[in-house]
Structure 1
């Protein structure tokens, strides 16, 4: 497996799992002169052979650069552009690469679609509500979801978002007003669905909307997970209701839920909080099936693959984790539990990590085809030993 990591100084590093997923090795690094943190990473295989990966990196200075990460782990720069609507106090909350191009979204609602090709300057822009904390593109790349500070979960149509004009004054009036008033439930022109706030608490007080992270459930278009600053994990089904179908309290023990990712097996999700806790969740019951031990810093980014998982944390370590699916039956006990199998210290604090989405790409495959041909020739030149010769040698 190959993973791409970014750090607080703008550097990118290629990490590979070797020894059948039991060890991490640093294979390649590209040093940046920006001295600006990498806030978001997005990867996408290029071509059908999966020998080259498109890597998109969003930096804190508002620029986005696309690279091609080749079979030998070398980087080749493709294109760079800047988001002029991003202010110094803003940050990137979403980045995704698809066949349409590279999507990016900032905390002040600046949505952009770039082709990502070399020398291309064509871009489509749209305006979303402000004070966003997370933005996710759907698995079909036809929809996207966002949420944030007093911005509840919302689903938009990608095509309509870039083609339908939306008045900025309407968005600002819905999200930036400090007055306590009942907001309109009318959907915006490109909006498909919007969540409704959970019921009031036991004292009859309105519960604040503090969304910190969003994830789609195992390639589903209708099921989403939402983590909150209060430590709650909510599951939504946009076909069933506007309120969550499951609301699990106090999953994030300290500082709320910081990172959230769905696993590659059904009914599995990985959650980290503001302390040093990292959990594996069973989405059928909301129960923590196992927790990872030996982590001394808050986990900032989670990159699950089909067989292992790699995370970054504030203690400057990149960790390799083993993963196990939830039990087939809800009543069964979880026997196999994930562990930290290896870790690597980074000179600069890693901020984000991403899997290159190429499961058939391994360290053994990085040799040239000529090397494989030499191995085949070596075996063909060897003499075959018959049964009689083998018996004589034993005697």
Structure 2
């Protein structure tokens, strides 16, 4: 698989080639091939991106940058810059909402309604360009209205559809883009199935209308939608279209006035319009509780894929209104959505002997691109880009020799358990390395032995201090015992002498003499207790 991804932080484009089954969030032996080019900085990041093929048969990457610059790069190394156009956008909040290329006509549209269509038959010598404003006929204040969705019909490039904030869906025809007279006569003799894509693209020419002095696009409105009926509170339902897709393109034409269009809104609805039936939607689905960002078609015309601002990507059946399943993996708001379908106009891949897988790619604020199988909703690729992804384009989905599944390449992708074991091995190696940083060989042994000796010396010093304290306490205890014995003898002698004296006269003196030894004994015992507790506390602290 090969995908072009824009990085908002660096303003560059990355060419990423990855095999099936690659997931960079899990440690693996295989890594994607990434080539970075067209770096211009964050202030000029890529807002829209497509890949176009010119008459020389080469593919070119066309990007629209913030600030009003459109560039054309080669799709192969060294990714040389071929052409550059500047739309001279003066408004800071003006941004590109869409790039379209069909029949060698490159058209770009901005949020202020500036539509520019260029004739790009050759990369070295681009043709004339024509401009118009899609909001020139908008009543009311223009600052409250903006264009947020634009799409060119996949079969007839002169049919465009656009809508936005407080701007209903509108289908116009570009008068400057007309079929050539020779091609029109030849088309009458051949059916549409017999004409190839190159023949259909060569039928159209972009020219100035007679009587026009300036290169201005002249358009005519074919159909405009009507807002849905008021809600249950009789309040007007706001309008904000976020994306537009044409369905059943083979049956629609300007003469038949028969178009089937599906749109998404910033209020979580998906609506289907039949221009021949009514101006109001025939199907109105409440698909999400959050603003829907983009739509992507599926092989089955009754299914459509949408993504919203809360990382939800789901498939919805527009007939029944039920969700067919979710595409899991995104953890942030999805900013871009792109599907790759193998149609009748695409090149046949029978040379490889394998049918290309219908893919769905998403990118957003989580700085990852996710690749899914559009039919089974299986995650077949996940690559960390390192920056927000505002735009992407799937270049190739054919299983080639370099882009086969990991099992076919002889590489078994590691599971999460195996990746955890590998991470544990890395941690053990790092710990071993940090221990070896102290020294190697005899130096490390000497260092460890010196630490052990230092710890043992500290323990011995503490033991000596404890023994010394115990010895001092024992000596003090002996001294207190001797003093108590002397005091007892003195007490006995005093009592004998007091017996000979008159009891009435010397009663107070005898009580005083008897009391003093007791008080001294209590004081000595208290001192002994304090000295006894001192060494114990010291042992606890040590």
Shared fold per TM-score greater than 0.5: yes
Quick check: which one's helix share is greater? 2
The reply to whether residue 253 of structure 1 matches residue 320 of structure 2 is no
Listed as ranges, the matches of 1:206-355 within 5 Å are 206-217=236-247, 219=249, 221=252, 222-249=259-286, 251-254=287-290, 256-306=291-341, 307-324=358-375, 337-355=376-394
Q: Is the Cα–Cα contact under 8 Å of residues 335 and 390 in structure 2 kept in the other structure?
A: yes
Task: Identify if the C-alpha distance between structure 1 residues 134 and 230 changes in structure 2 by more than 3 Å, giving closer, same or farther.
Answer: same
CA distance in 2 between partners of 1:283 and 1:46 (Å) = 35
Task: For residue 135 of structure 1, report the CA deviation from its aligned partner.
Answer: 0.7
Residue deviations 1:48-83, cap 9 Å, x none? 97xx3222100111100012213xx55232110111
Give the length in aligned residue pairs: 324
Task: For residue 340 of structure 1, report the CA deviation from its aligned partner.
Answer: 2.3
Task: For residue 287 of structure 1, report the CA deviation from its aligned partner.
Answer: 1.2
Task: Specify the SS of the correspondent of 2:277.
Answer: coil
Q: Is the Cα–Cα contact under 8 Å of residues 264 and 305 in structure 1 kept in the other structure?
A: no
CA distance in 2 between partners of 1:252 and 1:26 (Å) = 36
CA distance in 1 between partners of 2:373 and 2:50 (Å) = 23
Provide TM-score, normalisation by structure 1: 0.75
Task: Identify if the C-alpha distance between structure 1 residues 316 and 25 changes in structure 2 by more than 3 Å, giving closer, same or farther.
Answer: same
Q: Is the Cα–Cα contact under 8 Å of residues 7 and 348 in structure 1 kept in the other structure?
A: yes
Listed as ranges, the matches of 1:138-217 within 5 Å are 138-140=153-155, 141-160=157-176, 190-217=220-247
Counterpart for residue 12 of structure 2? 11
Residue deviations 1:150-179, cap 9 Å, x none? 1010111133588689xxxxxxxxxxxxxx
Q: Is the Cα–Cα contact under 8 Å of residues 95 and 103 in structure 1 kept in the other structure?
A: yes
Residue deviations 1:206-228, cap 9 Å, x none? 11111112122364642221111
CA distance in 2 between partners of 1:68 and 1:4 (Å) = 12
Bigger Cα Rg: 2
Tell me which of 59, 65, 70 is aligned to 2:71: 65
Task: For residue 121 of structure 1, report the CA deviation from its aligned partner.
Answer: 6.2
Counterpart for residue 45 of structure 1? 53
Task: For residue 288 of structure 1, report the CA deviation from its aligned partner.
Answer: 0.7
Which of structures 1 and 2 has the larger relative contact order (alpha carbons within 8 angstroms, sep 6+)? 1
Task: For residue 45 of structure 1, report the CA deviation from its aligned partner.
Answer: 3.2
Residue deviations 1:227-265, cap 9 Å, x none? 11110110112222111110002x1222x1112111233
Task: For residue 290 of structure 1, report the CA deviation from its aligned partner.
Answer: 0.4
* Unaligned 5+ runs, structure 1: 166-187, 325-336, 366-395
- How big is the alpha-carbon RMSD for the aligned residues of Structure 1 and Structure 2? 2.7
* Unaligned 5+ runs, structure 2: 25-30, 136-144, 178-205, 211-217, 253-258, 342-357, 404-542
